[in-house]
Structure 1
Amino acid sequence: MALVGYARVSTLGQSLEVQLQKLEAAGVDKVFEEKKSGVDANRPALKQCLDYLRQGDTLLISRIDRLARSAEDLLRIVRELEEKQVTIKVLDQSIDTRDAAGKAFLGMLAVFAEFETNIRKERQMDGIAKAKAKGTKFGRKKALTAEVISSIKSMRVDEERTIPEIMAKTGLSKATVYRALSAS
């Protein structure tokens, strides 16, 4: 009957320290940690953690959103752990799935976590739409402008430069130089 912790932050720049301190204070025997978005389906440390857990073990997490960001994902994980007879404890929200109230509260929090994610996406899309309306351009600038194409063709034909010389002078890849030379 092991106490197993799982800690996750969304980006490499964020720190796991607070979560790890809480898990250690709760007396975990082993901790799985990772720096990946909760909406990312490929979370290797979570997979290792779920594979590690055995009947009678308890999975400890600091907050429910550290485990999953959608209700569907959380319910899948909860079902998998229930089949293994593993208990989930959420430290910050005082949830324990050993009783019906804990299971119900866990489900409600999953819905709210998914709602929060959807709201954030909507705000982001609104911000992008406003920026586009103001004329903001997204993505990289085009490397092959008419001026660059003309310059590359001139270097190749008039100056008789080799492809590697043109690449060095312009800082462009071989494929881009060839694309410029084949442009009409």
Structure 2
Amino acid sequence: MGKFVAYIRVSSTGQNLSAQREAVRAAGAEKIFEEKHSGADADRPRLKACLEYVREGDTLIVTKADRIARSSRHLFNLLHGLTEKGVSVRFLDQPQLNTGDKYGRFMLTVLAGVAELERELIRERQAAGIEDAQKRGVKFGRKPKVTEQTAKLVKRLRDEGLSVPEIANQVGLKRSSVYNALKLAEAV
């Protein structure tokens, strides 16, 4: 028989963990990992310690899904990893998500499918938006440091006998950019 382990979290130091602590103790938690840390932060040391601590047969108790995960994707990844490890997860305020029974696992599978569909739809809309913007002439990425005009100036200065470091100082470019400008000037 495994242990009942709990993870509780609040976002800021002004918030209190006592209600969550009481709830997980009432649910049978023997060991509690507590954290006052933003859920948006991927680097939560106590969550990491909790995930490393739990073993096959253990049950991880959490009051709500948003206490442990920062997004649905993150939640599904955590639950998948815990299930692979043989750890069941019990959400006190969301019993339909518990991984300890077949209905909870089914519900999570359905939700994971919906999340995957949503990600694909977002990617499609994003790709369509980018294609539309490109058709309108929108350029993506950084603006090039070396324009055709700059390349012509660099070539003229080089033809006048200035060295690459002197050109770099005068034009305000790095030496590597001066060399790129010289290549561009030859290609134009």
TM-score interval, smaller chain: 0.5 to 0.7
* Uncovered stretches (5+) of structure 2, i.e. residues with no partner: 22-31
Aligned twin of 2:20: 26
Instruction: Kindly report the root-mean-square deviation, in angstroms, between the aligned alpha carbons of the 2 structures.
Output: 3.7
Q: Answer yes or no: is 1:69 the counterpart of 2:73.
A: yes
Q: TM-score, normalised by structure 2?
A: 0.64
For 1:35, what is the secondary structure of its paired residue? coil
Distance 1:91 1:113, change over 3 A: farther
Aligned twin of 2:6: 3
| 8 A Cα contact 1:62 1:92, kept in partner | no
Equivalences for residues 15-164 of structure 1 within 5 A: 17=11, 25-27=19-21, 29-31=33-35, 35=41, 50-55=51-56, 56-58=58-60, 60=62, 61-62=65-66, 66=70, 69=73, 74=76, 77-78=78-79, 80-90=81-91, 93-94=94-95, 95-158=97-160, 160-164=161-165
% identical equivalent positions: 33
| 8 A Cα contact 2:155 2:182, kept in partner | yes
* Uncovered stretches (5+) of structure 1, i.e. residues with no partner: 8-15, 37-42
Distance 1:24 1:144, change over 3 A: farther
For 1:181, what is the secondary structure of its paired residue? helix
1:164 partner letter:
P
| 8 A Cα contact 1:4 1:53, kept in partner | no
2:158 partner letter:
R
Residue by residue over 1:13-49, the C-alpha shift from the partner in whole angstroms, topping out at 9 and shown as x without a partner, is xxx838xx6987433523485635xxxxxx8977765
| 8 A Cα contact 1:3 1:58, kept in partner | yes
Q: TM-score, normalised by structure 1?
A: 0.65
Aligned twin of 1:40: none
| 8 A Cα contact 2:40 2:70, kept in partner | no
For 1:169, what is the secondary structure of its paired residue? helix
CA shift, 1:92, in A, is: 6.5
CA shift, 1:79, in A, is: 5.0
For 1:4, what is the secondary structure of its paired residue? strand
Between structure 1 and structure 2, the one with the greater Rg is: 2
1:54 partner letter:
R
